[in-house]
């Protein structure tokens, strides 16, 4: 197990469902390890804690985009925070790649080129990501710890689906769903536009990424910085956005992100009332006023359907991708912490 420790956080890769998964954590004295079983007697580092926050990202599911946000949550709440990337959404360092695969990539350039356009079967669907998170909890989170789930965008939908089966002695005390993409995704203009663009530009995008991947790390950083500042017109963005953007130079990551998007628009249809009603005392839905992925009209409709639920619109002028700006990240983190403080004593 490899780890990088910087400014109080630990970054590591853990195996979940035979996929090396990027995880970042705050507030733990040691790195996460599998829950003790007959083959592993090591006690979990979480065992001595009462509560833990588990964060599930949107799509792209690179949890490093949320590093500053998760750091704020830990600083304000003083409880452990764990962020889990989606399977297949983070480039795996060479030290985690098998010798067979490294030789395959080194000597079979033509096969590598063809391999780059095939989505990974276990990473491309919403259901596979739901199973991935359930298995992470089962393998790494002890049952005696109170679990607080936070999901952004697609992560909100994943949490609602997880709640159907997560039981089995687990105490999920709070579910905070931020900018929740949980219903009628394909009805949205933004989703239809992206569906057409990805269909038309799928292979050109992968070919471009394939060749850009041969650039040096320094040039990759320059390209990401140029795109962030000159195309997306971002300023005051956390440094983690720049680092996370380097994942865009990996064809495997890009094809998994696109495949997951198509799975989203096919699966996220009408909201099942039982998903909310069955957990109405622990679920909080926090909407934005200018969000094209979960518009204000969806907020107004769901408020009428569940008048007693904790459904609010606290992010009037905050964008869906709130982590791209420090001020918006600060605002969302404050709102989420206030919500969680209702539960954590």
The two tokens of residue 81 are 């925070």
pLDDT value of position 98: 46
Nearest of 202, 268, 13, 17 to residue 122 by alpha carbon: 17
Q: How confident is the model at residue 122 (pLDDT cuts 50, 70, 90)?
A: low
Nearest of 227, 191, 257 to residue 59 by alpha carbon: 257
pLDDT value of position 232: 82
Q: Which of 105-109, 236-240, 303-307, 313-317 has the lowest mean pLDDT?
A: 105-109
Q: CA 51: distance to chain centroid?
A: 20
pLDDT value of position 342: 84
- CA–CA dist 220, 204 (Å, integer): 18
Is 314:284 a contact under the CB 8 Å cutoff?
no
Q: Which of 32-41, 140-149, 155-164 has the lowest mean pLDDT?
A: 32-41
Is 250:220 a contact under the CB 8 Å cutoff?
no
3-state secondary structure of 280: coil
pLDDT value of position 17: 87
Nearest of 36, 32, 22 to residue 52 by alpha carbon: 32
Which residue is listed with tokens 């500053």? Answer: 68
- Chain mean pLDDT for the chain: 88
pLDDT value of position 1: 39
Q: How confident is the model at residue 344 (pLDDT cuts 50, 70, 90)?
A: confident
Domains and CATH numbers, the chain: 9-342 (3.40.50.1820)
pLDDT value of position 185: 96
Helical H segments across the chain, by residue range? 67-77, 99-107, 109-115, 126-140, 154-162, 189-212, 217-226, 239-245, 251-267, 273-277, 296-305, 326-340
The CA–CA distances, whole Å, from 321 to 17, 221, 325, 329 equal 29, 21, 8, 9
- CA–CA dist 214, 109 (Å, integer): 12
- CA–CA dist 335, 101 (Å, integer): 44
Q: Mean pLDDT across the stretch 96-118?
A: 44
How buried is 244 (Cβ within 10 angstroms: 0-12 exposed, 13-18 middle, 19+ buried)? buried
- Asked if pLDDT for residue 53 goes beyond 70, the answer is yes
Nearest of 231, 27, 230 to residue 148 by alpha carbon: 27
pLDDT value of position 109: 43
DSSP H or E stretch at residue 315: strand 310-315
Nearest of 304, 251, 296 to residue 273 by alpha carbon: 304
- Asked if pLDDT for residue 184 goes beyond 80, the answer is yes
pLDDT value of position 96: 54
pLDDT value of position 30: 83
- Asked if pLDDT for residue 134 goes beyond 80, the answer is yes
The two tokens of residue 231 are 């195309």
Q: Mean pLDDT across the stretch 325-329?
A: 96
The CA–CA distances, whole Å, from 265 to 51, 181, 183, 205 equal 34, 10, 10, 20
Q: How confident is the model at residue 95 (pLDDT cuts 50, 70, 90)?
A: low
The CA–CA distances, whole Å, from 191 to 201, 263, 321 equal 15, 12, 15
Query: What are the backbone dihedrals phi and psi of residue 135, each rounded to the nearest 5 degrees, phi first?
Result: -70, -35
Residue 47: how many other CB atoms lie within 10 Å: 11
Q: How confident is the model at residue 3 (pLDDT cuts 50, 70, 90)?
A: very low
Q: How confident is the model at residue 5 (pLDDT cuts 50, 70, 90)?
A: very low
The CA–CA distances, whole Å, from 101 to 18, 73, 94, 104 equal 15, 38, 10, 5
Dmax (CA) for the chain in angstroms is 61
pLDDT in tens, 232-268: 888 899 999 999 999 889 999 999 999 999 999 999 9
Q: Mean pLDDT across the stretch 213-227?
A: 92
Q: Mean pLDDT across the stretch 21-32?
A: 91
What percent of the chain stands above pLDDT 90? Answer: 71
DSSP secondary structure code for residue 261 in this structure: H
Q: How confident is the model at residue 105 (pLDDT cuts 50, 70, 90)?
A: very low
Q: Which of 165-174, 272-281, 295-304 has the highest mean pLDDT?
A: 295-304
3-state secondary structure of 188: coil
pLDDT value of position 4: 44
* Better pLDDT: 228 or 151: 151
């Amino acid at each position: 197990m490899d780890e990088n420790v910087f400014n109080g956080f630990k970054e590591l890769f853990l195996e979940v469902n035979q996929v090396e998964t990027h995880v970042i954590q705050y507030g733990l004295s040691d790195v996460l390890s599998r829950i003790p079983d007959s083959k592993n007697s090591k006690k979990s580092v979480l065992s001595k804690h009462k509560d833990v926050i588990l964060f599930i990202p949107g799509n792209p599911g690179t949890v490093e985009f949320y590093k500053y946000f998760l750091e704020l949550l830990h600083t304000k709440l003083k409880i452990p925070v764990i962020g889990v990337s989606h399977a297949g959404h983070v480039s795996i360092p060479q030290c985690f790649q098998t010798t067979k695969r490294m030789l395959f990539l080194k000597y079979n350039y033509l096969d590598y080129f063809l391999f780059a356009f095939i989505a990974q079967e276990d990473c491309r669907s919403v259901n596979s990501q739901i199973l991935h998170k359930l298995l992470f909890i089962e393998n790494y989170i002890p049952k005696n710890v109170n679990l607080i789930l936070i999901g952004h965008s697609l992560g909100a939908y994943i949490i609602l689906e997880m709640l159907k089966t997560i039981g089995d002695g687990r105490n999920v005390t709070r579910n905070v769903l931020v900018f929740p993409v949980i219903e009628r995704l394909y009805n949205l203009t933004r989703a239809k536009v992206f569906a057409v663009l990805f269909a038309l530009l799928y292979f050109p995008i992968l070919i471009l990424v394939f060749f850009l991947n041969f650039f040096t790390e320094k040039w990759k950083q320059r390209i990401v910085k140029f795109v962030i500042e000159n195309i997306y017109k971002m300023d005051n963005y956390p440094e983690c956005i720049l680092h996370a953007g380097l994942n865009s130079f990996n064809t495997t990551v890009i094809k998994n992100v696109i495949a997951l998007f198509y799975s989203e628009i096919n699966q996220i249809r009408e909201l099942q009332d039982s998903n909310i009603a069955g957990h109405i005392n622990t679920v909080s839905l926090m909407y934005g006023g200018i969000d094209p992925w979960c518009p204000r009209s969806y907020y107004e409709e769901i408020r009428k359907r569940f008048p007693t639920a904790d459904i609010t619109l606290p992010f009037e002028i905050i964008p869906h991708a709130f982590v791209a700006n420090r001020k918006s990240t600060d605002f969302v983190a404050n709102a989420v912490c206030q919500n969680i403080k209702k539960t954590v004593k």
